[in-house]
Amino acid sequence: MTTTKTARRPKGRRRGEACGPSGKGKAQDLPRLVQGDCIEVMADLEAESVDAVVCDPPYGIGWQNETWDSAAIRAAAARRGRGRLTKNKAFEVWCGMWGEQCARVMKPGAHLLAFGSPRTYHRLACGLEDSGLEIRDTLMWLYSSGMSKSRRYPGGRRTTLKPVLEPIVLARRPLDGTTEETIGRHGTGAMNVEACRVEDGRLPANALASHDPDCADENCDRGCAVALLDAAAAGGEGGSGTQLAPSRFLYCPKPTRAERDAGCEALPEHFFNLLPNASRGGLVRNPHPTLKPIELMRWLVRLVAPAGGLVLDPFMGSGTTGAAAAIERRRFFGIELEAPYLEVAAARIAHWGGAGRTPAPAPRDRRRRSEPRPLGTRRR
C-alpha cells in the first residue's frame, strides 16, 4: 500500500485498495490514498509516525441521509459494547474511537485539526479528549453562503438561525518532556505560526473568514462575511475606516466550481446542486457535497505540519487536504470510505502537484491563489 517510511502495508487488500497518483517524484514523497474504514486502516499504521492530522470528519447530523453520517456511526459505537446510546453520545464514542487511532499514530506533540458542526462539536471535542489528546484551542471558520434550513411559523417565527460558521478543534498529543525537548526529538510540539502570518505580517488569530462564492475581483457580494467584517471594522458605511481593523483573520475563498473540478477532467459528470437547497445546479466532475476550500486547508496544513512532514487525513473525501499538502510540500496519507471519492481525490491531488508536478491553478481561481488579504482592506 505504501512506500512511505512511516506507514506499513495494511494486512491484506480486503480493507480497500491503495492508490496513488502516478508521475514523477520520490516514492516515499508520493501521496498514499487508501480506501476503507479509517479506524481499521489506521490500526495497521506504525505508531508515532504521523506529524499532523488535518481532517473534516462526518458531523453526526445525518447529512443528506448519508449512512456514513448516521447509521454507520451508531453501529461502530455499538460495536464498542456501550449499550444503548443516544445519537449524539454514539457520535462522541465514535469520535473517541477514531481519535484513539489518531493519537496512537501521531508523534508526541503532534497536532490534530478537525472540523465540526456547531450542533455536535462538543461531542467531537469530548471524544477526542477522552482518546488521550489535549484540547488546545477552537478555531472558527466564518463564511456567508450557508442556507437557512428553518421552517417558517406564524408570527415571524423560525427554528434556526442562518449558519455562517464551523468550529475547528485544535488538539495535541501530549508532549514528550518539555516543548523544547519534543521539538528536538520529534519536530512537533509547536505550530508554524510565523509561516501563517496574515497580511502586514500580523500574527494570525483563531478565526478564519471566507469570501462568498459570488464575490468578484472588484466587489464583494452583499452579505459576504469578509465584507461585513470589513464594514464593521470601518465603523459601518461611511465610517472612519481606522479603528479595530480585524486584520488578524485569514481570508480565503469558498471553492468555486473551477476549484472543485480542477484535475478531474477525465472523470464522469454528475448533476449537483452547488448550494444545498438552492435552485442553482449544474454538471460537475467532483460531486462531493462537503468540499472545503483549498486555501483554507493550505493554511491549516502549514500551521500544524512541519515542513516536509507527513499529514494524515482519515476522512479524505475528495482530497482537499491532500491537494493542500501537495501545494505546501508536505507528504500525505489519505483514507476514504467511498471508492468514487477516492478516485476524485487522486485526480485532484495529482493536479495540485501531488505526483511531483508543478501545481497548476484552475484558470478562474488564479486571482485567489495570492497570499491571504486581511480584513480591513477592500477587495480591488
Ligand X SMILES: C[S@@+](CC[C@H](N)C(=O)[O-])C[C@H]1O[C@@H](n2cnc3c(N)ncnc32)[C@H](O)[C@@H]1O
- Binding residues for ligand X, rule: CB under 6 A, are 37-38, 56, 58, 68, 288, 290-292, 314-315, 317-318, 320, 335-338, 341
Cell numbers linked to 343: 478516485
User: For residue 252, what are the contacts with CB-CB under 8 A and spacing of at least 6?
Assistant: 208, 209, 210, 211, 293, 295, 296, 299, 372
Question: Does residue 141 contact residue 201 with C-beta atoms inside 8 Å?
Answer: no
Nearer to ligand X (CB atom), residue 323 or residue 355 = 323
Question: Does residue 118 contact residue 167 with C-beta atoms inside 8 Å?
Answer: yes
Min. distance of Cβ 341 from ligand X in angstroms? 5
11 vs 8: CA distance, rounded Å: 9
Min. distance of Cβ 146 from ligand X in angstroms? 15
Nearer to ligand X (CB atom), residue 107 or residue 254 = 254
Shortest Cβ contact with ligand X: which residue?
317
User: For residue 126, what are the contacts with CB-CB under 8 A and spacing of at least 6?
Assistant: 92, 95, 96
Min. distance of Cβ 75 from ligand X in angstroms? 10
Cell numbers linked to 18: 491503495
Min. distance of Cβ 243 from ligand X in angstroms? 37
Min. distance of Cβ 95 from ligand X in angstroms? 11
Cell numbers linked to 142: 466564518
Min. distance of Cβ 238 from ligand X in angstroms? 39
Coil, strand or helix: which one is 356? coil
Upper half-sphere CA count for residue 23 (Cβ side, 13 Å): 19
User: For residue 242, what are the contacts with CB-CB under 8 A and spacing of at least 6?
Assistant: 234
User: For residue 342, what are the contacts with CB-CB under 8 A and spacing of at least 6?
Assistant: 17, 19, 33, 35, 316, 336
Nearer to ligand X (CB atom), residue 108 or residue 361 = 361
Nearer to ligand X (CB atom), residue 186 or residue 368 = 368
Nearer to ligand X (CB atom), residue 171 or residue 220 = 171
Q: In the 8-state DSSP scheme, what is residue 313? A: E
Question: Chain centroid to CA 280: how far?
Answer: 25
Cell numbers linked to 173: 498529543
Min. distance of Cβ 295 from ligand X in angstroms? 12
Nearer to ligand X (CB atom), residue 59 or residue 251 = 59
Nearer to ligand X (CB atom), residue 32 or residue 292 = 292
